[in-house]
Amino acid sequence: MRNPFRPTFGASPYHWAGRSVVLEEFARGLDGYPGEPSRSMVIDGARGIGKTVLLTELEDIAAQHGWIVLRATGREDSVRTLIDTTIPAKIAELAPPAGRAVTAVQFSGFRVDTELLDVPSPTPTLGTRMRDLLGLLRGTGVLITVDEVQDADPDNLSEIALTHQDLIRDEQHVALVMAGLTHGINRLLDLPGTTFLRRARRFELGPLTDDDARAIITATAAKGKPIDADAADLAVEIARGYPYLVQLVGYLAWNRAGSRITRADVEAVCAEAVQTMGSQVHAPSLKGVPPAQMAYLRAMADLIGDAADVSSSDVAERVGKKPNEATDTRGKLLDRGLIEAPAWGRVSFTLPYLAEFLRSDNRTTRVS
Ligand SMILES: Nc1ncnc2c1ncn2[C@@H]1O[C@H](COP(=O)(O)OP(=O)(O)O)[C@@H](O)[C@H]1O
Ligand SMILES: [Mg+2]
């Protein structure tokens, strides 16, 4: 029997739970008018919190509304890909070129070719391409999603944002949803060309509620190896609402279990789940964090123990600074989305088990 849990980044879960505010608002936005605020969304949050799969859900909703979906990612030259590949492919789908007629023209001799050379065709831009596509639609629109915007070239993002704004001004049915790590999103919203996106609906994804986590575990396990209630309770406790962990704990427990998942199964996989979290989430999240910020994080980890948060002036003292001297470092870590300020003068870690990871001195098990 195939394991139905999917602890894989970007892989849509077998059972979905949570984020209903975003889903409902987006669906309402599609039913609305051009320029509806919820047709422009920015989604941010930590690695593994569920940004990519939420984008996929929004794409599904758009498709159900009859909208065309164009998917882009900050990991490549998104504007070029949209202009050269993604949009032409959609246009060809909607209005297949008359192949024979074009071939006939191409064979009709030199004269035509020379004339064509004399009249250069305008270089397509994202705006002209989008208008070509929108011109083929009646009563529906086009959604562009951009994932991993933290890796994107700022010029690309500005161009997408400006084109989107331009099309809205012309009463076109367009929607734009961008998703990425908190740090990258904050940087994006500071770009000159993206001022407009500051008015977009912004959703910061936090942990799922325990009820949602329990619903995911129970419904997914029910696919073949039902989970005992006390086992589900423990899995929920271990996962701390973090979607990647929900899938991971479920996945490991399923593999270990007989015909049903027991509390002993969940207990047995807890350490492995947290360790995998270290290599898949903690280590990459800390990549590129400068030494002063790392020192701040380590001090936090030492002081926080098993508590939920810690006093920021205690942390400052621990790194040998006056509270106001550490403010800058603290601000940068908040901006990176690695820490949060749950109350005045208090700081906490955004990612579950990051304190444990830092205290273990980033030791991950290396398997060659
Ligand atoms: N709402 C949800 N319900 C069930 N599983 C989810 C949900 N959100 C995320 N997941 C699971 O969590 C993991 C991480 O999701 P992903 O979208 O890749 O995170 P991100 O893009 O933020 O790094 C995936 O295994 C995904 O299936
Ligand atoms: Mg992702």
pLDDT tops 90 at residue 340: yes
CB 222 within 8 A of CB 189: no
Q: Compute the average pLDDT of residues 296-308.
A: 95
- Which pair of tokens denotes residue 58? 């929004």
> How far apart are the C-alpha atoms of 180 and 202, rounded to whole Å?
12
CB 300 within 8 A of CB 347: yes
Domains located in the chain, CATH noted: 20-204 (3.40.50.300), 210-285 (1.10.8), 290-359 (1.10.10.10)
Range with the poorest average pLDDT among 101-105, 235-239, 266-270, 311-315: 101-105
Helix, coil or strand: residue 73:
strand
Q: What is the pLDDT of residues 138-175, one digit of tens each?
A: 889 999 999 999 889 888 988 999 999 999 999 999 99
What's residue 364's pLDDT? 52
What's residue 106's pLDDT? 47
CA 116 to chain centre: 45
Sign for the CA dihedral angle at 304, 310, 313, 316 comes to positive
Tell me which ligand sits closest to the C-alpha of residue 239.
Answer: 1
pLDDT tops 90 at residue 322: no
How far is ligand 2, taken at its centre, from the CA of residue 319, in Å? 33
CA 360 to chain centre: 28
Q: Compute the average pLDDT of residues 205-212.
A: 96
Mean pLDDT across the chain, nearest whole number? 90
pLDDT tops 60 at residue 111: no
How far is ligand 1, taken at its centre, from the CA of residue 289, in Å? 24
pLDDT tops 90 at residue 115: no
Give me the helices (H) in the chain, please: 20-31, 51-64, 78-81, 87-94, 99-106, 110-118, 126-134, 154-169, 182-189, 210-221, 229-239, 243-256, 263-277, 283-286, 291-304, 312-318, 323-336, 354-359
How far is ligand 2, taken at its centre, from the CA of residue 236, in Å? 22
Q: What is the pLDDT of residues 11-67, one digit of tens each?
A: 999 999 999 999 999 999 999 999 899 999 999 999 999 999 999 999 999 999 999
- Ligand 1 residue neighbourhood (C-beta within 6 Å): 6-13, 16-19, 45, 47-53, 216, 243-244, 247
Helix, coil or strand: residue 255:
helix
pLDDT tops 70 at residue 213: yes
Tell me the pLDDT band of 109, cut-offs 50, 70 and 90: very low
What's residue 119's pLDDT? 55
Range with the poorest average pLDDT among 75-89, 190-204, 255-269: 190-204
Q: Who wins on pLDDT, 240 or 104?
A: 240
> How far apart are the C-alpha atoms of 33 and 11, rounded to whole Å?
32
Range with the poorest average pLDDT among 70-84, 101-115, 304-318: 101-115
* Shortest-distance Cα residue to atom 1 of ligand 1: 17
Q: In Å, what is the CA distance from 306 to each residue of 265, 319, 328?
A: 24, 20, 26
